[in-house]
Amino acid sequence: MKVILGAFAACLVFVLSAASAMAQTNNLLIQMQPGGGFRVWHGDGPSELSDDEVMLLDSLAEPQGSAPITTSLGAARARSTPQGVIIELVDATEDKSLLIDRDACGHLKTWHAEGRMQISEDQVTDLVLAAVPGGGPRLVLDGQRHAKSFLTSLGVMVAIWRPRNPVSRAPEAPPAINPPADRPVRQ
Distance, in Å, from the CA atom of 104 to the CA atom of 75, rounded to the nearest integer, reads 29
- pLDDT at position 24 is 61
Average pLDDT of the chain? 82
The CA angle 52-77-54, to the nearest 5 degrees, is 20
Other beta carbons less than 10 A from residue 132's beta carbon: 11
Query: Is the pLDDT at 185 greater than 50, yes or no?
Result: no
- Asked if pLDDT for residue 12 goes beyond 70, the answer is no
> Which run of H or of E encompasses 89?
strand 84-89
Assess whether pLDDT exceeds 60 at residue 168. no
Provide the 8-state DSSP code for 49: -
Q: What is the average per-residue pLDDT within 146-166?
A: 89
Has residue 99 got a pLDDT over 80? yes
Q: 102 has which bridge partners?
A: 108
Split at pLDDT 50, 70, 90, the class of 171 is very low
Amino acid at 172: E
pLDDT above 90 covers a percentage of the chain that reads 57
pLDDT of residue 35: 87
**Residue pLDDT, tens place only, 101-127:** 987 788 889 999 998 888 999 999 999
